[in-house]
Amino acid sequence: MSNPAPVAVALDAPDLETAARWAALVTPHVSTVKIGLELYLRYGPDVVASIRGASGVRIFLDLKLHDIPATVGAAARTVARLRPDLLTVHASGGADALRAAAEGAPGTRIAAVTLLTSLNEEQLGRIGMTGSVQDTVLRLSALAVEAGAHGIVCSPREVSAVRAEVGPGIMLITPGVRPAGSAAYDQARVATPEEAIKAGADLLVIGRPITSAPDPGAAAATIAASLRRLTPARK
């Protein structure tokens, strides 16, 4: 079978049974599944083992930790025993918090969230952050990498610029990915999977276009096939 596509399916399900079913349907086709804050808070740490099951699929624990460094470090140590492949921390929490997360979970890749993909330039100004979206993302990306983050979460619109800023060794993770014809929902800065990969993304976060489909497995397989056709171009 072909290698799974570089996609993290967001399991934003109403219950654990649905999330586990989605995971089972998509794992033959994608490398990663993402467990977000709602599912984690509803079912607790056991949700990770339930979703991982026997498949060994990579777990992206998207908790977006944002607190003082001591608290972020302690939280990272707590979840490290769950062996997630990826754990998100807000870059705006500062370098010390990012460093504390990396030290607290040495076996997990820390992915720094730059700006949520629901934010546009007008909203950025309203919360008091000056400069353009791209300037802010680049500034936070540089800070995160210097603090020891292994990955950067940014929208597909900023991937190319972030890659130029941080170099080739950092994983770039892009939410806000929507296949052509899909609704944007609450995302403000979006692109298609093919556009995101061509721009330099390493892992695409895709939720409702897969999980809301009549057959999530088939939807994942279709996206995986479209990305596989791009592979020769990236080598």
Catalytic site residue 235?
A: no
Task: For residue 13, give the amino acid letter.
Answer: A
Q: Which of 34, 64, 198, 235 is catalytic?
A: 64
Half-sphere exposure of 88 (CA within 13 A, CB side): 24
Instruction: Name every residue whose Cβ is closer than 8 Å to that of residue 47 and which is 6 or more positions away in sequence.
Output: 16, 19, 35, 39, 40
Q: Are strands 151-153 and 109-113 parallel, antiparallel or unpaired?
A: parallel
Active site residues: 64
